[in-house]
Structure 1
């Protein structure tokens, strides 16, 4: 149905938390239909989404799909893992899968840059001058991950603060971006710059756009909170603004309690309720119908 990137160049804005909670929520909605949701971790510092969900990724890594060295079907089978831990008396998560990352992703990224460089040089040497047909990191990224589209209904990219060579690749692969942000001056400034980067990529022919802005770790008692909310609204994000996620130690505590999300740990907590509104918003926008019982 859709490929969504959870991204922001600002660090510490709950990108992985947002990606995992959204992934679980969409998987729950799709479960009656047998739907599947995949979270792809793109942080080379290591398997954040998998760890947050209480998984042990071992040697699994998205780099094994991106390096092109193994048959894609084999790579998918060997590296995509189920997040359902019911068999080990953990939380039941039918339909939720994770493709972890590790420091090998840095090597894969470097290898892709070199591969594109070699191919471009070969084409130039052969006299080709139609640069629009030349390979790019983005085209290689899309080509190697696109087979996942036929398996999963939703793909969620959990992005690190710095995408480097993968920035245009992520935006070429994604349909829309979800941008979590804290409501302080530093985070807001980084968020505006990040959104501008997406707009720049759109001008280069990429269709990805900012679909949702998610205020996180919000303290409604602060005057700054309301001031920043108004600033985002004046910048044209009023219709894209999700329900603010309140600041709470319970959100960060949940993964430490057996690899749980806030939805599983304390589903009635205000943060869980706010995240559920984001899940419902995405589900409605992409026409996921709730099951009806007669």
Structure 2
């Protein structure tokens, strides 16, 4: 893991929507990769989604000698899982009451992918955490960030959140300074936004946290919207739940090569998607700077 000499004051950003299939993972890994490379910032991506698609996308690109080679795609199973270097280590239930829980050391769970980019891998076992009644679990990610002084190491910590209300979703939001909402233009998009805003407002009220929305980013956008899509977009933006949310001027275009291309799922590997990510990144940094001022 690369650590620069000067102490940082890192920001934690959750990428979240209560609706699946909105490009959340693509946006998360794209931002993490671009910020680490083009902006030369130190980035940690935390994969808090049990489907761990962010983990697979980044490991395929940076821990495989050739994308799609059967001998390479087992890095997660052959290296990560045996070493228990996943987010589940933060949430592992206590089985011995005489031994108190201790926050894992960062080197025991974080994997370096390349210069300036690290990952805390996702884990399907996260689904077991939601059966735990211990409310202190919602503080596990925040405590990890604070106890290990990760803000002094990373410029940005990006958390890829699941599209469900869970203990680990709350834990991600509890650890965050900001949250970012990726959203598709379809007739059901308001459902995910409404659920998310209710959940966030409840968490802010109950836990007294200072969590700010950076805005909404349209994803999987066609180059030219049809009249029907324009109508759906206009209707969506007129809803009460969206009134208080700023909408990014930049967006993520629909790109089939991210899903099906031989170059993998990392959007920064493709020209058009990389340009989208660059525009979003610059707007994101500007928004954070404005809030800080």
User: Shorter-chain TM-score: what band?
Assistant: 0.7 to 0.9
Q: Offset of 1:195 from its aligned partner?
A: 2.4
Which residue is 1:27 aligned to?
A: 36
1:223 aligns with 2:230: no
Structure 1's consecutive aligned runs of 4 or more residues displaced over 6 angstroms after TM superposition are none
Contact 1:61–1:105 (8 Å) recurs in 2: no
Q: Offset of 1:275 from its aligned partner?
A: 2.2
How has the CA–CA distance of structure 1 residues 16 and 63 changed in structure 2, closer, same or farther, with 3 Å as cutoff? Answer: same
Distance in 2 between residues matched to 1:141 and 1:99, nearest whole Å: 11
Q: Offset of 1:246 from its aligned partner?
A: 1.9
Give RMSD over aligned pairs. 2.5
Which residue is 1:13 aligned to?
A: 22
Distance in 1 between residues matched to 2:11 and 2:123, nearest whole Å: 25
For residues 171-197 of structure 1, give each alpha carbon's deviation from its aligned partner in whole angstroms, at most 9, with x where no partner exists.
221111111111111123222332232
1:100 aligns with 2:121: yes
1:185-264 equivalent positions in 2, closer than 5 A: 185-204=187-206, 205-219=208-222, 220-234=224-238, 235-236=242-243, 239-254=246-261, 256-257=262-263, 259=264, 261-264=266-269
Distance in 1 between residues matched to 2:256 and 2:109, nearest whole Å: 32
Which residue is 1:124 aligned to?
A: none
Q: Which has the larger radius of gyration?
A: 1
Which residue is 1:65 aligned to?
A: 90
How has the CA–CA distance of structure 1 residues 62 and 164 changed in structure 2, closer, same or farther, with 3 Å as cutoff? Answer: same
Which residue is 2:174 aligned to?
A: 172
1:81 aligns with 2:111: yes
Q: Offset of 1:167 from its aligned partner?
A: 3.5
Contact 1:44–1:101 (8 Å) recurs in 2: yes
How has the CA–CA distance of structure 1 residues 237 and 226 changed in structure 2, closer, same or farther, with 3 Å as cutoff? Answer: farther
Q: Offset of 1:238 from its aligned partner?
A: 6.7
Which residue is 2:3 aligned to?
A: none
For residues 230-284 of structure 1, give each alpha carbon's deviation from its aligned partner in whole angstroms, at most 9, with x where no partner exists.
3444332573334232212122234x42x452222x22x1x33222211111122
TM-score (ref. length: structure 2): 0.74
Distance in 2 between residues matched to 1:233 and 1:139, nearest whole Å: 34
Distance in 2 between residues matched to 1:40 and 1:141, nearest whole Å: 9
Which residue is 1:90 aligned to?
A: none
Contact 2:214–2:287 (8 Å) recurs in 1: no
Structure holding more helix per residue: 1
TM-score (ref. length: structure 1): 0.74
Contact 1:42–1:157 (8 Å) recurs in 2: yes
Residue number among 44, 49, 57 corresponding to 1:52 in the alignment: 57
Distance in 2 between residues matched to 1:140 and 1:232, nearest whole Å: 35
Q: Offset of 1:22 from its aligned partner?
A: 0.7
Q: How many residues were matched structurally? A: 247
Q: Which runs of 5+ in 1 are unaligned?
A: 85-93, 117-135, 289-294
Distance in 1 between residues matched to 2:289 and 2:219, nearest whole Å: 25
Residue number among 46, 58, 65 corresponding to 1:40 in the alignment: 46
Distance in 1 between residues matched to 2:152 and 2:173, nearest whole Å: 19
